[in-house]
A and B are shown apart, each in its own frame.
Chain A
Amino acid sequence: MTALARMAGAPGIWKPFAGGTDLMVLLEAGKLPHRKFLNIWKLPELRGIVVTPTHVSLGALTTYSEVRRSEPLVQEFPLLCRAAVETGSVATQNRGTLGGNIANASPAADSPPALLVYDAELELVSASGTRRVPFHGFWRGYKQLALRGDELIGSIYLPRNKKDWRQFYRKVGTRRAQAISKVCFAGTAWVEAGRIEDIRISLGSVAPTVLRATGTETVLRGQQPTPEVVRGAQEALACEISPIDDIRSTSRYRLLVAQNLLAEFCESLTA
């Protein structure tokens, strides 16, 4: 693959370029320091949705439109489809890719919370081989990826083990379409006899990266979601997230809404 060879030859110099929905905006604003752009848009190795008994794998160049239309994803990973529907607009969805979204590492990204509550894994490819890493932890800090200068995100793997879990996704944006999120909440939970046996919670726009609220998960794991338990979880959440004031919203609003969405999720688990 000549793309990988190029990147191996000059690590960090080449900026991989997929659908351009983020990068073209930055380029026009003069905010991309790179001078060499590697067009990966048509690379067949990075496309396609494959279903195996244990996983559904999505090529990094899978667009949001493709996610929305994919029957296996609609069936087993509906939160990812919800996220895709709420990303931008039709034109953005036709060009925006999951890999590009992950690489851009915006703390307000819409799909990563869904990916995280599905325990997604990433396959990273380079001229020297491939490696598989959990998506959780891939973002080290604000816009910092655990990605080498010669690597591309190749695929996203979704283990097919959440089918019977409860699923919840809610994005609170500036308006109903074409909106950057103010708070984004994704949750999956395995509930048996009223008890939360296992749980995953992820939020966007309340920290320097999209995060897994593992502390909050711990408070809820093994519990019945009574109002008292939920209040405890909300307190734990307040300790885990660090929402800020910015031009779209306030830290106070984000905290309140994050806690309300957590309560909404927990309430849905009692049904």
Chain B
Amino acid sequence: MPEELHKVRVQCEINGKIVSLEAYPMARLLDVLREQVGLKGTKEGCGEGECGACSIQLDGALVNSCLIPLQQADGAKIRTIEGVAISGKLSAVQQAFLEHGGAQCGICTPGMILAAMNLLERNAQPTEDDIREGLSGNLCRCTGYTKIVESVVEAWRSARRAV
């Protein structure tokens, strides 16, 4: 809930585009992304940083956007799920989720895909334990995680094959 009385203007890069945003300084980045920028792919599941459905990348780091006050996004480089596919071409992680059942109801999927990509950016060949740890901040109620883990394994293996 915005406490300070005056809105602030911040500028940041979202999915490669420079955007100017105006909101209360303590407004949640999640709300600003969804309502002002119109990027609905990032979801709210809990509002307390527990479920990871709101995960995005901020300056290359995976964060829960429900816990980022807008003023701290000033000058930041942000990637949401909408910025993952390039010109309509799905990333390896997205393609793998599609083929291996990584998404069921889909509500955790955007955050889960960001978390998976974040993991693979730091660890190109993660073990199953690495994957489970890297995704442990993203709760899924539908899949039981087995096919999510399989999808991430397949994503890095197919990326290796493509090289």
What is A's interface to B at a CB cutoff of 8 Å? 17, 19-21, 24-25, 27-28, 30, 32, 34-37, 39, 41, 65, 88-92, 94-95, 176-178
* A24→B69 contact, CB < 8 A: yes
Q: In whole angstroms, what is the CA distance A35 to B134 when docked?
A: 36
* A37→B72 contact, CB < 8 A: no
For this complex, 17 residue pairs linking A to B, each with C-beta atoms less than 8 Å apart, are A17-B69, A20-B67, A20-B69, A24-B69, A27-B1, A28-B1, A39-B71, A88-B137, A89-B52, A90-B133, A90-B136, A91-B55, A91-B115, A94-B61, A94-B62, A177-B137, A178-B50
* A24→B67 contact, CB < 8 A: yes
Q: Which residue in A20, A35, A178 is a CB contact (below 8 Å) of B3?
A: A35
Give chain A residues whose Cβ lies under 8 Å from the Cβ of B61: 65, 94-95
Interface residue? B49 (CB, 8 A): yes
A25, A89, A92, A176 interface centre (most CB from chain B within 10 Å): A89
**What is the minimal beta-carbon distance from A151 to any residue of chain B, in angstroms?**
22
* B115→A90 contact, CB < 8 A: yes
**What is the minimal beta-carbon distance from B22 to any residue of chain A, in angstroms?**
17
Q: B46-77 vs A: 1/0 string, CB under 8 Å?
A: 01111010010000011110111101100000
Given contacts A24-B28, A88-B137, A92-B49, whether A36 and B4 have CB atoms under 8 Å apart is yes
Interface residue? B25 (CB, 8 A): yes
Q: In whole angstroms, what is the CA distance A266 to B81 when docked?
A: 49
Q: B123-163 vs A: 1/0 string, CB under 8 Å?
A: 00000000001101111000000000000000000000000
Q: In whole angstroms, what is the CA distance A88 to B48 when docked?
A: 12
**Those 8 A-B pairs whose CB atoms lie nearest each other, nearest first:** A89-B137, A177-B136, A94-B61, A24-B67, A91-B64, A91-B137, A25-B48, A91-B62
* B3→A39 contact, CB < 8 A: no
Q: In whole angstroms, what is the CA distance A91 to B138 when docked?
A: 9
CB-nearest residue of chain A to B52:
A91
* B62→A37 contact, CB < 8 A: no
Interface residue? B118 (CB, 8 A): yes
Q: In whole angstroms, what is the CA distance A89 to B114 when docked?
A: 14
Give chain A residues whose Cβ lies under 8 Å from the Cβ of B136: 89-90, 176-178
Interface residue? B26 (CB, 8 A): yes
* B3→A28 contact, CB < 8 A: no
**What is the minimal beta-carbon distance from B46 to any residue of chain A, in angstroms?**
10
* A95→B4 contact, CB < 8 A: no
Q: In whole angstroms, what is the CA distance A31 to B68 when docked?
A: 17
Give chain A residues whose Cβ lies under 8 Å from the Cβ of B119: 90
Q: In whole angstroms, what is the CA distance A27 to B137 when docked?
A: 21
CB-nearest residue of chain B to A26:
B48
Give chain B residues whose Cβ lies under 8 Å from the Cβ of A39: 25, 69, 71-72
Q: In whole angstroms, what is the CA distance A241 to B134 when docked?
A: 34
Q: In whole angstroms, what is the CA distance A25 to B118 when docked?
A: 24
Q: In whole angstroms, what is the CA distance A88 to B133 when docked?
A: 11
**What is the minimal beta-carbon distance from A68 to any residue of chain B, in angstroms?**
11
Q: In whole angstroms, what is the CA distance A91 to B49 when docked?
A: 9
* A90→B72 contact, CB < 8 A: no
CB-nearest residue of chain A to B115:
A90
Give chain A residues whose Cβ lies under 8 Å from the Cβ of B26: 27, 37
Given contacts A24-B28, A25-B48, whether A37 and B4 have CB atoms under 8 Å apart is yes
